Structure 1
């Protein structure tokens, strides 16, 4: 009679491969391969939100335009800044911020919101992340109409030069970051439901601390301690994400260190996301 397997016996019970890097990467590949599903679901999300509306998704553009106009006019008067320069600055910043904030807030609930599909639909977990990011890209595309209007109305096009093409890789980096943010926050918010409210408060705080309604140039122009305080904005990561897209879209000078910081955060973020997918991907259906 053969001896029972021991701890050191190679014939011991096989270990499940559900918590391996191979399965984590396979989930991402399979999810991307199901793009017909998440492309359709993302578009249906927008249609459902504006069902029976005459203007449909263009209400996104109208709401963002009115918000940017109100903020731009108010703070231009408070800070004594020329409206022709400040309003495009605020508008582009707000458009980019909506993409960043949605990635954090909606990303933290991406799996909770899709509880039914996760339990019933046999698909990769990353499908829901791709769906969320695709939906935010569609929102962003609608809001770009405001930018096109500003190019003409405020003469922004006169300031543009070849560096405007850098907005494309900048936007690609934002999308990559939206994905890892949704994966990491989505997984841990599913396990610990207190994380989502905390992220909501944190996002509101970041909005105030990020140069959207104010500019670092205004503070630096005052000199002294006020100028030194402007450097505190460099500690805010969302500032760097804004600058790699906003600066080229407005024809402003580019600073390479913004790109270095964003690239470093992107690399670290994806490492954390892959680790989270490896360790907890199989547990999400039970946590929701």
Structure 2
């Protein structure tokens, strides 16, 4: 009903009598239209909810274990890297393995939002041209699918807490706002890079390479504490990790899950980056949202 009223209003505006030479102002390139797209997409949650589940079913069709293959692959990778680097850095396995495992789990979500987000509109070309739905539906579908993968991988974290028990105090509740911020960032990252990469097709392979590089410069298979404890020049270089925004995103989610405190400045940096990212995505939507259907 809301969409029909909006269409009638648009038609009335276009056919209304105007002063000679006056052209009705377009409402497509406004922030109001951009945020309206996000709200309308959120209201159609049943659509992207079912599409996200269908994506997983299609990917693991005729598979016995289905999406749990992702859990197995992540668990094997975490165990291999955790055991190897714990011996190389001489860190107790009970301390290092949870650090690596939770880092990999969160990294899978972050990298998925970046890499798949850059092709989200290209891969949904048919639906965009045939289905009269807000552009944000496809972004919500992607983030929902990555959330389901994240939920499957959290089984590994539960097993680690059982094998290596640790005290999880009230700070464990910080995982709720941490994951919420991660999901919000997944939306703006997929929306922004999806629009830009649809226009400039070289962006997607470039992001693929940069994401791989970010994996090595983000404290996932290494710890900043280990480098800082060495002192000297190595300790100073370890502070460069603070310049990596993904390090702070990791900390606000990983630290509560492994029973470690989170310093306040991590939260402020993540919140600041989130607000800046939302503004950037809103600007991209205002300028180019209506052109995506022509670019795909």
Q: Deviations over 1:157-185 (max 9, x none)?
A: x2311100001100100100010001110
Aligned with residue 218 of structure 2, among 192, 195, 210: 210
Is 1:131 the counterpart of 2:141? The answer is yes
3-state DSSP of counterpart to 2:219: coil
Aligned match of 1:200: 208
Aligned match of 1:220: 228
Is 1:284 the counterpart of 2:292? The answer is yes
- Structure 2: runs of 5 or more not aligned: 1-18
Aligned match of 1:78: 88
For residues 166-177 of structure 1, the aligned pairs below 5 Å read: 166-177=174-185
Is 1:150 the counterpart of 2:156? The answer is no
3-state DSSP of counterpart to 1:251: coil
Aligned match of 2:242: 234
Distance 1:212 1:44 in 2: 31
Aligned match of 2:9: none
Distance 2:151 2:32 in 1: 34
Aligned match of 1:3: none
For residues 1-288 of structure 1, the aligned pairs below 5 Å read: 12-155=22-165, 158-288=166-296
Distance 1:167 1:11 in 2: 58
Q: TM-score, normalised on structure 2?
A: 0.92
Distance 1:91 1:13 in 2: 59
Displacement of 1:16: 2.0
Aligned length: 278
Displacement of 1:11: 6.0
Q: 1:10 to 1:154 in 2, by over 3 A?
A: farther
Displacement of 1:15: 2.4
Distance 1:131 1:87 in 2: 32
Q: 1:154 to 1:279 in 2, by over 3 A?
A: same
Distance 1:119 1:196 in 2: 21
- CA-based RMSD of the aligned residues comes to 1.0
